[in-house]
Amino acid sequence: MEKRKLGNSGLEVSALGLGCMGLSYGYGPATDKQQAIQLIRLAFEKGVTFFDSAEAYGPFENEKLLGEAVAPFRSQVVLATKFGFKDGKVDLGMDSSPKNIRAVAEAALKRMQTDVIDLFYQHRVDPNTPIEDVAGTIQDLIAEGKVKHWGLSEASAQTIRKAHAVQPVAALQSEYSLWWREPEQEIIPTLEELGIGFVPFSPLGKGFLTGTINETTQFSSTDFRNIVPRFSEENRKLNQNLVDLLKTIATEKEATPAQIALAWLLAQKSWIAPIPGTTKEHRLLENIGSEAIALAKEDLLKINTAASKITLHGARYPQHLQNRVGK
């Protein structure tokens, strides 16, 4: 698989990474451990060298799973994880105090069976801790050899600038896809100016852009999408127009809607490395197949022109979660 550099940091990753969250958290029951390990190892065999986790996924279980899965080839992959919630629990709110950052780093190193975290993200901006203090703590961890690079997630352009001025930021991880294009307004120009890589999560619109979800789809009771306004039954029906567009392009390219959605993302910037997640091997292989699809300028123009005429319905987060992003 093609390798990409995340901005000016020198951090090289596979063009497509693997978001591991859904194996343990967020989308219903956790995947069987051995099946999850097998999936991660298959991804590596197929060229994926970039794996994304967080202490909050589980909490803690996802990091343990990832560490065990990549142990045989640890030196050949980039491991990303995140700090920033109290006790690793999203419901308890943010905690990016220097003390907590250090505690999470030490615990994550043990859980992932490694001596260094390749990419350590602040999961969400903590309004109670100045970002300069966060960056300074990371700077110390880098000097100590415990962290190689750091990043932010769902941060505003202003916060990115402040953080980057203290300790250069390697990557921003935020939602970005044909389903959510807000980063194009201010975030992407800021990243380009500063030489920071972009790691889009939910590049398939939390599964919607695969074309396998419609208004009759029933999610597991523990599936996060049950509380997402954009996934209400009515909005799923209204938003099918975007999937129909992807299906049309996919037919022309002998591909799938998911592959077109990922190929579109890869074509945006050379320093973008999406991290689609999945629990299924056939979906993993489908996603990896998107890297071979070349969309010409005419294809991208056609997609963008058609997409600009489609109105998407529903907020991407319920209000209590929306309050945590863009800070």
Nearest residue to 267 via CA among 162, 173, 140, 178: 178
Catalytic residue of the set 27, 57, 121, 176: 57
Identify whether 176 is a catalytic site residue: no
Say if residues 271 and 4 touch (Cβ distance below 8 Å).
yes
Give the length of the chain: 327
Q: What is the pairing mode between strands 3-5 and 12-14?
A: antiparallel
| 199 neighbors 274 (Cβ within 8 angstroms) | yes
The residues with which 5 forms a beta bridge, in sequence order, are: 12
Count each helix (H run) and each strand (E run) in the chain, helices first: 12, 9
Return d(Cα 190, Cα 169) in angstroms, integer. 12
Residue 149: strand, helix, or coil: strand
Can you tell me the distance from the alpha carbon of 215 to that of 85, in angstroms, rounded to the nearest whole number?
A: 33
Say if residues 94 and 126 touch (Cβ distance below 8 Å).
yes
Two tokens, residue 152: 């932010």
What are the residue ranges of helices labelled H in the chain? 33-45, 61-70, 98-111, 131-143, 157-166, 187-194, 233-238, 240-253, 257-266, 281-289, 297-308, 319-322
Longest dimension (CA), the chain: 54
Q: HSE (CB half, 13 Å, CA atoms) of 285? A: 5
Beta bridge partners of 69: none
Please list, in sequence order, all residues whose beta carbon lies within 8 angstroms of the beta carbon of residue 163, skipping any fewer than 6 positions away.
Answer: 131, 132, 134, 135, 152, 155, 169
The residues annotated as belonging to the active site are 57
